[in-house]
Amino acid sequence: MRINYVSAITAIVLLVATIGVMAADPPVGIEQNRSALINERAPEINLPGVAGTNRSLADFKGKYVVLEWVDFTCPFVRKHYDSKNIQNLQADLRQQGVVWLSISSVRSGADGYLSGKTLRLALAKEKSEAADYLTDSTGAAQRLFGVTITPTVVLIDPDGVVRYFGAIDDQPTDNPANIAKATNHLRAAFEAEKSKLHPNPNGTLAYGCPAPTIGRAEH
């Protein structure tokens, strides 16, 4: 059998080029199932904030609360922060009485872990408009909420019930150019709640980076 070496070499070159293009884009992690917490009471959390004071959901009873799982090293998080998309949403919802809590479940010593002065400088650089940044370095809150992807956002109503859980928007990419055409699920859910309507959708599959500590228990 005669082998066509030119065709074989061409095929190999095309394969290598394709792999190179694929490697240029970060892989998208997508949540496998909608959260079972939707329309259920949110689990209680008790986590230290920037100033070292512990925060719990009970502290904000009677208010809407947004929980945002964040890792500033994740390109899908960067999409929203570099474009100022998330800061604008944080500021807008804060003006409407919403308490926005950013949560990091990155373990101490891992890439993306922030604390003390480094954390304060990072939040200033990001121009975060969140009410606080909570450290969940044991992954306890992450496991309670079943978060598997960063970023994930959760909208909790004044009675402590989860009304939205999932992705920020409907564009599963790290390209900020897609934000202009995106439907912001979190904003839409809050607007529906304000109008005494049921958010639709009330849950989506979050996309982004695999959450760093899911499934790991502390002993």
Take residue 25 and report the two structure tokens written for it. 């884009």
In the chain, helix, strand, coil percent, each to 5?
A: 35, 20, 45
Which tens digits make up the pLDDT trace of 8-42? 443 433 333 333 333 345 666 776 677 889 999 99
Q: What is the largest CA-CA distance in the chain?
A: 78
Number of domains making up the chain: 1
Which tens digits make up the pLDDT trace of 150-163? 999 999 999 999 99
| Nearest-10 Cα torsion for 110, 116, 122, 128 | 110
In this structure, is residue 72 part of a structural domain? yes
For residues 37-49, average pLDDT: 96
In this structure, is residue 150 part of a structural domain? yes
In this structure, is residue 93 part of a structural domain? yes
pLDDT for res 42: 97
In this structure, is residue 160 part of a structural domain? yes
The secondary structure of residue 82, as a DSSP letter, is H
Residues above pLDDT 90, as percent of the chain:
73
In this structure, is residue 107 part of a structural domain? yes
pLDDT for res 10: 39
On the 0-12 / 13-18 / 19+ scale of CB atoms within 10 A, 124 is exposed
Picking from 190, 205, 113, the residue whose alpha carbon sits closest to that of residue 158 is 190
pLDDT for res 164: 97
pLDDT for res 35: 84
Q: Which residues contact 154 (CB under 8 A, 6 or more apart)?
A: 37, 42, 66, 67, 68, 145, 162, 164, 165
pTM: predicted TM-score of the whole model, two decimal places:
0.84
pLDDT for res 189: 98
**What distance lies between CA 137 and its chain's CA centroid?**
16
Q: 37 by DSSP, 3-state: which? A: coil
Q: Domain range for residue 137?
A: 28-210
Sole residue written with tokens 């939707």: 38
For residues 161-184, average pLDDT: 96
For residues 70-76, average pLDDT: 95
In this structure, is residue 215 part of a structural domain? no
Q: Residue 49 sits in a domain of what CATH number?
A: 3.40.30.10
Instruction: Count Cα atoms within 13 angstroms, Cβ side, for 12.
Output: 6
In this structure, is residue 187 part of a structural domain? yes
In this structure, is residue 36 part of a structural domain? yes
Contact 165, 156 (CB under 8 A): no
